[in-house]
Amino acid sequence: MRHCRCLLTALLLWIPFATQAVEFRVGLLHGDADIFDYELSVVRLALEHAPGDHTLRIVPLEGMTQQRILTTLETPNPRINVFFSGYSPVREDRFLQVDVPLTRGLLGYRLLVTPRKALKERAPLADIKDLRPFRIGSGIGWPDTRILSNNGLKVITSTYDNLWRMLEYGRFEFFHRGIQEVFTELARDNRQLLTVEPRIALVWRYDYFLYVSRERSELHDILTTGLLNAYRSGAFMDHFRQHPTIQKALRQARLTDRTLIRLALPDAFKSLNTIPDRFWHRPGEDG
């Protein structure tokens, strides 16, 4: 990325940092540990494979937007000192970003949630042209919103909780969700009237990354070293393949049976393409 395009070098070199114990306080968007169980487990994996006796504390942040949460990272004595969020060039410039995609890019494989009744009445979708007449719900401040808009799709924005209600009330036709999130979300909160569009998936190179304040470079170094050590030992891929969330997501998403509609990244996002291919999932090869 802009601030540090050195992943391949770092795989072979030691990143020096103090090894005294550090408490990592990870902010949790929506306060939902079930949805983000895998992402939190990757943070634990990083700390287990980094030198030092570090600890992890999860801080639920219900009702806060990503923008507000990220702002807290820059305040004196913040409640949190680490946050994982979808990539954006603004976040990459503003914070120290750990340049290892947490879900191997699964976050960039999006399924479309839609009302069951509307799905039965709608003609099958096959390509991006078929999608352009419809509206897609996306979150305020989510970088995905820009990607969708740049590809000529109509986007309606609101907060996460409101988006579900708006979809049920017909304010838009689809709500895009990551494959590791969507089935857990649909299984709760009386969402039986919603379902996943069965034939297509939207795809762009994208993922969650870990962000820390630029004043806390030691946190960045610990997390980077831990994740690269986990890759080098094979522990990361073992964890990825064996984690129930990933196994369930890949099984339920049926990516190899879907038409994958690939969206172009805006120019400002192109640094994602410089991350080596070995850190990104390929359907049919990783699990």
Is 162 in the same domain as 226?
no
Is 185 in the same domain as 125?
yes
User: What mean pLDDT value characterizes the chain?
Assistant: 90
> pLDDT digit string (tens) for 192-251?
999 999 999 999 999 999 999 999 999 999 999 999 999 999 999 999 999 999 999 999
Tokens at residue 270, please? 């192109």
Note down the domain range covering 159: 109-203
Tokens at residue 242, please? 């064996």
Q: Is 158 strand, coil or helix?
A: strand
CA distance 277 to 287: 16
pLDDT at 3 over 50: no
> pLDDT digit string (tens) for 50-71?
999 999 999 999 888 888 999 9
Once rounded to an integer, what is the mean pLDDT over residues 266-270?
90
Q: What is the SS3 string spanning 122-140?
A: CCCCCCHHHHCCCEEEEEC
Is 214 in the same domain as 239?
yes
> pLDDT digit string (tens) for 113-166?
999 999 988 999 999 999 999 999 999 888 889 999 999 999 999 999 999 999
What pLDDT is stored for residue 283 in this prediction? 87
Last residue of a domain, one of 203, 221, 243: 203
Is there a domain that residue 121 lies in? yes
Range scoring the smallest mean pLDDT among 19-33, 67-81, 154-168, 173-187: 19-33
pLDDT at 30 over 50: yes
Is 209 in the same domain as 146?
no
Amino acid at 57: R
Once rounded to an integer, what is the mean pLDDT over residues 181-190?
85
Is 118 in the same domain as 68?
no
Amino acid at 46: A
pLDDT at 8 over 80: no
